Amino acid sequence: MKSLYSNIPNMNEILSKLSMDDIDPKWQKKLADQYLQTLRESIASGDVKDVNADEVIQSIRNFIEATLAPGLKRIINGTGVIIHTNLGRSSISKRLLDEAADVLAHYSNLEYSLEKGARGSRYAPVVERLKLLTGAEDAIVVNNNAAAVMLTLNTFASGGSVIVSRGELVEIGGAFRIPEVMKLSGCQLIEVGTTNKTHPFDYTQAIDEETRMMMKVHTSNYRIQGFTASVETDVLSEIAKANALILYEDLGSGTFEAIEGFQEKTIQEAAAHCDLLSFSGDKLLGGPQCGIIVGKQKLIAQIKANQLLRALRVDKFTLSILDRLMTAYFKNEALRTEAIPTHRYLKLSKDTIEAKVDAFLNQYQEPLNNIQLHVAKASMDSEVGAGSMPLALLPSCGLIIQSDHSIEKCFQAMRRLDQPLIGRIEKDSIVLDFRMIEEDDFTGVFNALKAGCYHA
């Protein structure tokens, strides 16, 4: 065992042979030390029975590279879920990013009024277009919609109560629960109605001197079907007015455009009936993670005066992309769709997706057969995701792949690649929905299948 330790090269030799000049020597040494520590432990425990100096140096090089590699990777989304929260929700088009990058790589008028030559508002750059798009009097942007909900409740209802229908006490993925957020915002939740039915009188009967606000929450990720009743915001708006209360709607995933074939209320429709409205930037809007609050100018001014905003305020990276996105929304449909990948994916017809699958098979059917993968084209359904339109299924096309090897292992191996491929597992097969797989992903898809399934 002693000789095993003596085979380990000394630090000077390691550092000179690593030839990783671009890495600070201080870190080369620290990480090499860390690697050697583990190696010595493995020798002591008998797990390592052979030590070769050159191999040790190569392993240290691999260890340093793996440790210092960026952790966020581009992945190929073969899941068929368009707005996949675990996969970063909406992707941003290169064009918008390039435009924003030019601003971000330099100084900007983030909080500087170019007109007055003095301190300006962080929100000013996007507010006018948000007002045009939503029809609201004013707008403000924060970190995400959860922050928007919290800030709104805290500003207007802290120390008081807020009325919400029992049918709308939602939990969104990642444990965002309306009742919990209420508590954190310092307000008391008054639940009214039942899970399946809430009527106008449920709201009116619950109003008392503690009531500050009536809140409507979009039931993003589920639908209550069958014998149901809920009160729409136009009716709630009358009740709120008659009782001098604020009506706030959390729309979750907001969209400016009616989406063909789906009954999703647009942001403009929602904004027309309530005093305040909030929605996410990275769901159907197709932009960066943020939460947008629009509504009455007087109320937005009060939100701006809340100290909590300082902790929830949006950063310049987000704002610069949102800024470009807002402009894209005024372009003609073709340009708009091109600028917003989420919308492009939403609108893809099954035929177009099938053509992508055919193009892929044309190129790779034979190579796939050569590595013993059985691949079949199949119809399937994509989902919108992120709690948007939970029941909507979008006709799509993709591949069903069977391998002689364990599918579970294939999946695991495909996740560990430099450019991982994520699909679904169904009945011992890999299912790849081609809706979000682009032509420039084809090589990546093949390489992932080969690396993942051939050696598995």
Ligand X SMILES: *Cc1c(COP(=O)(O)O)cnc(C)c1O
- CA angle (449, 453, 456) in 5-degree steps: 150
Q: Which is nearer to ligand X, 318 or 320 (CB)?
A: 318
* Phi, psi for 141 (deg, rounded to 5): -125, 135
Does 220 contact ligand X by CB under 6 A? yes
Cα–Cα distance, 188 to 306 (Å, whole number): 19
Only segment of 123-131, 204-212, 249-257, 439-447 that touches ligand X (CB under 6 A) = 249-257
The CA-based dihedral angle spanning residues 49, 55, 58, 62, taken in that order and rounded to the nearest 10 degrees: -30
Q: Which is nearer to ligand X, 201 or 222 (CB)?
A: 222
Residue list 250-309, contact with ligand X (CB under 6 A): 250, 252-253, 280, 291
In the list 79, 134, 145, 233, the residue contacting ligand X (rule: CB under 6 A) is 145
Residue for token pair 């690649």 = 417
- The helix/strand/coil state of 28 is helix
Only segment of 94-102, 227-235, 246-254, 355-363 that touches ligand X (CB under 6 A) = 246-254
Only segment of 55-63, 76-84, 140-148, 353-361 that touches ligand X (CB under 6 A) = 140-148
Q: Which is nearer to ligand X, 161 or 388 (CB)?
A: 388
Residue list 154-183, contact with ligand X (CB under 6 A): 170, 172, 176
Helices (H), 109-209: 124-134, 145-157, 178-184, 200-206
Q: Which is nearer to ligand X, 164 or 431 (CB)?
A: 164
Q: Which is nearer to ligand X, 150 or 448 (CB)?
A: 150
391: enclosing H helix or E strand? strand 388-403
Q: Does residue 167 contact residue 219 with C-beta atoms inside 8 Å?
A: yes
As separate numbers, helices (DSSP H) first and strands (DSSP E) second, the chain gives 19, 18
* Burial group, residue 178, by CB count within 10 angstroms (0-12, 13-18, 19+): buried
Residue for token pair 């610069």 = 320
Only segment of 44-52, 139-147, 235-243, 429-437 that touches ligand X (CB under 6 A) = 139-147
Does 216 contact ligand X by CB under 6 A? no
- CA angle (120, 126, 131) in 5-degree steps: 115
Q: Which two tokens stand for residue 347?
A: 């609108």
In the list 61, 84, 122, 218, the residue contacting ligand X (rule: CB under 6 A) is 218
Q: Which residue is nearest to ligand X (CB)?
A: 252
Site map 382..411 versus ligand X, x via CB under 6 A: -----x------------------------
403: enclosing H helix or E strand? strand 388-403
CB of 154 to ligand X, least distance (A): 15
CB of 134 to ligand X, least distance (A): 17
In terms of DSSP bridges, do strands 373-385 and 388-403 run parallel, antiparallel, or are they unpaired? antiparallel
In the list 28, 79, 90, 144, the residue contacting ligand X (rule: CB under 6 A) is 144
In the list 146, 192, 319, 339, the residue contacting ligand X (rule: CB under 6 A) is 146
Q: Total binding residues for ligand X by CB under 6 A?
A: 16
Cα–Cα distance, 32 to 24 (Å, whole number): 12
Q: Does residue 100 contact residue 321 with C-beta atoms inside 8 Å?
A: yes
CB of 328 to ligand X, least distance (A): 20
Report the interface residues with ligand X, using CB under 6 A. 144-146, 149, 170, 172, 176, 217-218, 220, 250, 252-253, 280, 291, 387
